[in-house]
Structure formats: structure tokens, C-alpha cells
Amino acid sequence: MQSIGHLFAASLQNGGPGPGFLAPWVYRYLFGGMEKVLKLLPEKLESSLQFSDLYTKLKKADNCGTVIEILTSDMGYDVLESIGYRGIPSKANLKNRTEVLQSIYIKSIVEPLLPPLDSIANGLKCYGISKVVMRYIEDFYTVFCPSPLFKWDFEKFFGILSPVFSENGSTNHALEITVYKHFVDFAELCYFDDAFPVTLGQLMKFVTGSPSLPPLGLPKGITVEFVHGCQDLKNGMKCKCLPSASTCAIALKIPVHIADIDSMKESFILAVNCEPGFGCV
């Protein structure tokens, strides 16, 4: 697990993307310990978790009478025994309510994950990343947790495209313009059509290796090249080769026989869904 922390730290050190998927409490634990976690208790727990019903009722309780009623119920006694509570339920107050909520949260959510999280936290000490994040913990939240801040949008994407066209006025140039137009239309569908099978993030992962916008941005724009000269197959069928990408060069190559929107959708959906990714490191 420590190696996961090393990978997070190495990516950030080199200007790459942060995880972007950690639960907020995990982020706060990694860089602030249990104290930071317990300052922001959720309104409810997932229904599948033990004690979730009592947790929700207790979180909504706003007076001592309701707190006592909940804690002195059969369910309340079972929960208090499980979390090792040593107070007197019949004399509970709002302060005790907070203590019980914290104990339930730790028991249900935090405690089972402490060993792997401690290992990840040790890995994040590489390059001094932990010290920097602890100093600016609120600013780094969007790097480690889900956030729209680093989500690709169509305008950002379109703004960094750099198509390489043949000489103006040539037959190749006219064909490349058509192919490029259909590619841009395909990218629009990825972003604006929620039901489309490929998202813009998936397309960008295919092209750049990153489904989200790196915090420091890409080192260069996306070069779009057009592939000519594909040979027909021996049985007389037209070439069906797919678009390809170089994530290191940040370059996309599109065969010019993909010259209509239906072919563009079919080819890219297949290419994006079949690409193997980077696998295990």
C-alpha cells in the first residue's frame, strides 16, 4: 500500500494529475489524522452499513430528550455496547451525542481501513508532498477528491487541438478537413450527450493518458495527424484500421478513410474501449 502513496507523490511532483477519486474523509485522514476526519461527520451513513439507521436518527436529534430516547432504545443499547461507550445513556446530552456519532463513524467506516491508509500516508511523504499538502490542505482538496475543477470540458479540449493539414488546396487537404470536422463532432457528442458510450474524459485518457486535466496542464497541445495510404484488404474490403494515439508525444492519428460521422463514432468507440491502458505498475 505504501507504493500507492509513492505513485500519488511522484505524479504530483512531475506535474501530473492527482488521484481525484478519494473520499473526503480519506483525504482528511491522510493529511490531518483522525482529528480532521471527526470535524466533518456526514449527515447519514450508507444504508448497508451497520448502525446506519441509529446514526441518522441521532444526527438529526437536536435536544437532550430525543438523544436519551434514541440511546435508551434496544437498538441504542446494542450500538453503545458495540462501540464500547462507557457513559450513562439516560443522562446523555448533545455533547454525548457527538461523541457517540464519532464512535459509530470510526467503528463503521474508518477503523477497517486504518492499516492500508497509514501505509499510503507514509508513501505520500516522498518528495515532501505530505508537508506541502498539510500546509494547504483546503487548496489541495480538488487534486485528491472528485471535483469539476480538473474535468475536461469541450472548450478546453478544442482549444488545444493542433491539426496538421496537407498543403492548402490539395485533394488531401480537403479530405483531412472533412475527417477533422467529423472528429470534432464526435468529441462534442462525448461531452454533451450524457447517453453517449464514450465520455470526453475517456477520450482524453486514450489520447493523453489522463482522464482529467493535470493540475499544471498539458506540456503541449494535442497534435492531430491524418494517415493516408491505407491498403484495401485482400478480399476487396476497405481498410478498417482504427485511430491510434501516442500519450508521450500527445498525438492522435486518424486514418482518412474514417470520413463520415458514423464511421468516426464506430472507430473511436472501439479504439477507446479496447485500448489496454497502462495496466499494473
Mean pLDDT, rounded, for 149-172:
90
- Within this chain, do residues 7 and 81 fall inside the same structural domain, yes or no? yes
**Residue 254 main-chain phi, psi, to 5 deg:** -120, 120
- Within this chain, do residues 158 and 139 fall inside the same structural domain, yes or no? no
Please say which residue of 97, 127, 147 terminates a domain. Answer: 147
- Within this chain, do residues 134 and 218 fall inside the same structural domain, yes or no? no
Helix (H, G, I), strand (E, B) or coil at 227: strand
**Percent of the chain scoring above 90 in pLDDT:** 54
State the SS3 of 78-111: HHHHHHCCCCCHHHCCHHHHHHHHHHHHHHHHHH
Which residue from 152, 83, 113 is spatially nearest to 4, judged by alpha carbons?
Answer: 113
Instruction: Look up the CATH number of the domain holding residue 232.
Output: 3.30.2410.10
* DSSP label of 149: G
Q: Which domain range does residue 170 map to?
A: 154-274
**Most confident segment among 1-5, 91-95, 202-206, 223-227:** 223-227
Query: How is the chain split among helix, strand and coil, in percent rounded to 5?
Result: 55, 5, 40
Please say which residue of 94, 119, 147 terminates a domain. Answer: 147
- Within this chain, do residues 88 and 10 fall inside the same structural domain, yes or no? yes
Residue 189 lies in a domain: yes
Residue 279 lies in a domain: no
- The answer, yes or no, to whether residue 280 has pLDDT greater than 70, is no
Helix (H, G, I), strand (E, B) or coil at 253: strand
Residue 254 lies in a domain: yes
pLDDT band at 245 (very low <50, low <70, confident <90, very high): very high
Please say which residue of 147, 162, 180 terminates a domain. Answer: 147
- Within this chain, do residues 9 and 123 fall inside the same structural domain, yes or no? yes
The CA distance from 248 to 220, in Å, is 11
**Residues contacting 201, CB < 8 A, separation 6+:** 151, 152, 211, 212
- The number of distinct structural domains making up the chain is 2
Strand pairing report for 244-246 and 251-255: antiparallel
Residue 281 lies in a domain: no
The answer to whether 117 and 2 are in contact (CB under 8 A) is no
Helix (H, G, I), strand (E, B) or coil at 162: strand
**Residues contacting 87, CB < 8 A, separation 6+:** 96, 99
Mean pLDDT, rounded, for 94-115:
90
Secondary element (H or E) of residue 193: none
The CA distance from 91 to 205, in Å, is 57
Could you tell me which residues are beta bridge partners of residue 222?
Answer: 161
Entry pTM: 0.58
- Within this chain, do residues 123 and 162 fall inside the same structural domain, yes or no? no
- Within this chain, do residues 122 and 223 fall inside the same structural domain, yes or no? no
- Within this chain, do residues 7 and 134 fall inside the same structural domain, yes or no? yes
- The answer, yes or no, to whether residue 210 has pLDDT greater than 70, is yes
